[in-house]
Amino acid sequence: MVYLIIKYLVTAALVVIISEIARRNDRMGGLIASLPLVTILTLFWLKFENAGEDKISNHAYYTFWFVIPTLPMFLVFPKLNATYGFWVAMLCSIVFTTVLFYLYQLVLIRLGIRLF
């Protein structure tokens, strides 16, 4: 139980630190947020929990494939935010990313890569 609480605290602290840095410096916040810190932290947690090597490797592998369709959102959101405001931009970005995930899945299936 203590370990689970430590996981929550460390992971939450990471998100809070990144958002505080982003509040003070856009570029530095963006740089830090773009780093795969949560993935690296997850890999550490899996290792500390004695997850098998296959489980750890699969996590990194699938993370790679799932990141790709999320990247266009980072180009679409700023334009929509400037034009329509935060909430519309966020909603449109979520829908856009969901559609991209679906289309991406169809392409990957044709290439023999199954994510789901």
pLDDT digits (tens, 9 = 90+) for 16-42: 999 999 999 999 999 998 889 989 999
Rounded Cα gap, residues 30 and 52, in angstroms = 33
pLDDT at 97: 97
| pLDDT band (50, 70, 90) for residue 115 | confident
Between 77 and 114, the higher pLDDT residue: 77
DSSP state of 68: G
pLDDT at 55: 97
Is residue 3 over pLDDT 90?
A: no
Rounded Cα gap, residues 64 and 80, in angstroms = 26
Q: Where are the beta strands (DSSP E) in the chain?
A: none
The crossing angle, in degrees rounded to 10, of helices 86-110 and 73-84 is: 160
| pLDDT band (50, 70, 90) for residue 87 | very high
